[in-house]
Chain A
Amino acid sequence: DTGVSQNPRHKITKRGQNVTFRCDPISEHNRLYWYRQTLGQGPEFLTYFQNEAQLEKSRLLSDRFSAERPKGSFSTLEIQRTEQGDSAMYLCASSLAMLENEQFFGPGTRLTVL
């Protein structure tokens, strides 16, 4: 069990470019979550999957954001036409879909939009 991994760890891009992040959850976990954290704030929920099904999306998630989890394993989060306001730490977490079970977080991907 190597924990939740995220790639890349850092991404610098120019405004208007598309970026894609990857998350590999703990292998037996069927739930996968994406959160976003900005300076001075706690993580904010974006979306989550159970296996390959996307069960909930936050209204924070504009139509420039899309997430997938093909085959219920790794997940990708894509941001199209990036804006400076997208600069943040993007966190992925995974868990088992059961009661009173904690989410385990990856190290995050820090996005800077110039």
Chain B
Amino acid sequence: DQQVKQNSPSLSVQEGRISILNCDYTNSMFDYFLWYKKYPAEGPTFLISISSIKDKNEDGRFTVFLNKSAKHLSLHIVPSQPGDSAVYFCAASANFGNEKLTFGTGTRLTIIP
């Protein structure tokens, strides 16, 4: 039972354009959502998070949008840079992040120079 889904295994975007990564979840108990970035042979690196009391959170080039009614969130990266090429994981937690994380399967983002 995949409670967090990232339906796009890969995405290619031109440098300077916007990258949009999507994530869907099924568990209504999830109320805290995070995006992690992962390079090969490294652990995931935290990017940005959002709690269910908000619908948008912004940090520099990264913005996360949450649509609770659709159980959908998205990560926008603008402008995209070559260093953004990595695998991006969406994760969700209950109890406002005070519990274990449930991850999606990841989206490999490739930024084309």
Residues of A within 8 A of B (CB): 4, 6, 33, 35, 40-45, 48, 56, 91, 93, 97-108, 110
Q: By the criterion of a CB under 8 Å from any partner CB, how many residues of chain B are at the interface?
A: 25
Give per-residue flags for B55-81: 1 if the beta carbon is below 8 A from chain A beta carbons, else 0.
000000000000000000000000000
The closest CB in chain B to the CB of A9 belongs to: B41
B98 on the A face (CB < 8 A): yes
**In the assembled complex, which residues on chain B have CB atoms less than 8 Å from the CB atom of A91?**
43-44
**In the assembled complex, which residues on chain A have CB atoms less than 8 Å from the CB atom of B32?**
100
Q: Which of A44, A102, A106 contacts B34 (CB 8 A)?
A: A102
Does the CB pair A106–B97 fall under 8 Å?
no
On whether A101 and B97 interact (CB within 8 A), knowing A42-B89, A42-B103, A45-B102, the answer reads: yes
**In the assembled complex, which residues on chain A have CB atoms less than 8 Å from the CB atom of B45?**
105
> Main secondary structure on chain A at its contact with chain B?
loop
Residues of B within 8 A of A (CB): 4, 32, 34, 36, 41-46, 49, 51, 89, 91, 95-98, 100-106
Most chain-B Cβ atoms within 10 A of its Cβ — which of A98, A103, A110?
A103
**In the assembled complex, which residues on chain A have CB atoms less than 8 Å from the CB atom of B105?**
40-42
**In the assembled complex, which residues on chain B have CB atoms less than 8 Å from the CB atom of A44?**
103
Tell me how far the C-beta of B75 lies from the nearest C-beta in chain A, rounded to whole angstroms.
15
**In the assembled complex, which residues on chain B have CB atoms less than 8 Å from the CB atom of A43?**
44, 89, 101, 103
Most chain-B Cβ atoms within 10 A of its Cβ — which of A91, A98, A101?
A101
On whether A106 and B43 interact (CB within 8 A), knowing A97-B98, A100-B97, the answer reads: yes
Tell me how far the C-beta of A59 lies from the nearest C-beta in chain B, rounded to whole angstroms.
12
**In the assembled complex, which residues on chain A have CB atoms less than 8 Å from the CB atom of B41?**
107-108, 110
Does the CB pair A98–B101 fall under 8 Å?
no
Tell me how far the C-beta of A101 lies from the nearest C-beta in chain B, rounded to whole angstroms.
6
The closest CB in chain A to the CB of B95 belongs to: A99
The distance in angstroms between the C-alpha atoms of A40 and B2, with both chains bound, is 14
On whether A99 and B97 interact (CB within 8 A), knowing A41-B105, A42-B105, the answer reads: yes
